[in-house]
Amino acid sequence: MDMNATRRQIMAGLAAMLSAPPLLAASPEAKGARKPSRLRVGDTVGLIEPASASDEPFQIQLVEEAIIAMGLKPKRAPHVLNRYGYLAGQDKDRAADINAMFADKDVKAIFAVRGGWGSARLLPYLDWNIIRANPKLLTGFSDITALHMAIAAKGGFVTLHGPNAGSAWGKSSWDIYREIAFDAGTPLFVNPEGDEDRLTQRRWRTRVLGTGRGKAQGKLLGGNLTVLTALAGT
């Protein structure tokens, strides 16, 4: 993935899932969204692969090293590294990993290793009683949008559309994630300092869409638009 795409995903994608979207019928439990506990150094975090498969075990090793560099302890789900065609194992196995990580009392948060395609196939197999009873911060982007939207509708707690565990985790990505997940802060997106030979910066501008003072308050839902449209009517 090139740096331009990565920055766009980080700037546009760190969206906390706070309530049910119009595309999904919200359960009564989802009306008052809860916030999972913040992360602390030394916490154990679960690694799942709900969509496409990783190419080789070395990729998972690199992911685990990145998690350790965050001050956290990685724990692989049982079926990580499985493969079923282009998917990271069969649907029921990938769903079972998600259920197991939410049920595991030692696991404080959950990272998707990567996206790709296939997360929406898991929704019928998720145990919503377990998930609702154990709110944990799920982080991932792209195809993981299907899980974010389902948890918003059926789980009733916040998740984070942010970098996958297998992402590059550059300084800007890590700084923003740490502020949200560890410090329970609210990042402020501002125009970056100019690196062009111009009086005003043209790239990576934060712009206000619409009129008024540029201030708004509300519940933020979002993710990959292709996945969002695929969930319409579900």
Quote the pLDDT of residue 204.
75
* Choice between 144 and 186, residue whose per-residue pLDDT is larger: 144
Cα–Cα nearest to 164, from 132, 142, 179: 142
Quote the pLDDT of residue 32.
60
User: What string of H, E and C letters represents the secondary structure of the chain?
Assistant: CCHHHHHHHHHHHCEECCCCCCCCCCCHHHCCCECCCCCCCCCEEEEECCCECCCCHHHHHHHHHHHHHCCCEEEECCCCCCCECCECCCHHHHHHHHHHHHHCCCEEEEEECCCCCCHHHHHHHCCHHHHHHCCCEEEECHHHHHHHHHHHHHHCECCEECCCCCCCCCHHHHHHHHHHHHCCCCCCCCCCCCCCCCCCCCCCCCCCCCCCCCCCCCCCCCCCHHHHHHCCCC
* Choice between 209 and 131, residue whose per-residue pLDDT is larger: 131
Domains of the chain, first to last? 15-184+219-230 (3.40.50.10740)
Quote the pLDDT of residue 5.
43
Quote the pLDDT of residue 214.
64
C-alpha distances in Å from residue 115, one per residue of 31, 34, 48, 53, 201: 28, 25, 10, 9, 32
Per-residue model confidence as pLDDT tens digits over 28-65: 344 567 999 999 999 999 999 999 999 899 999 999 99
- pLDDT bin (cut points 50, 70, 90) of residue 105 is very high
Quote the pLDDT of residue 198.
80
Quote the pLDDT of residue 23.
30
Say yes or no to pLDDT of 192 above 70.
Answer: no
Per-residue model confidence as pLDDT tens digits over 161-171: 999 999 999 99
Say yes or no to pLDDT of 25 above 50.
Answer: no
Please report, rounded to a whole number, the percentage of residues in the chain having pLDDT higher than 70.
Answer: 84
Quote the pLDDT of residue 1.
40
Q: Which structure tokens are listed for 176?
A: 């923003």
Quote the pLDDT of residue 64.
98
Quote the pLDDT of residue 197.
80
Q: What is the pTM of this model?
A: 0.82
Quote the pLDDT of residue 208.
73
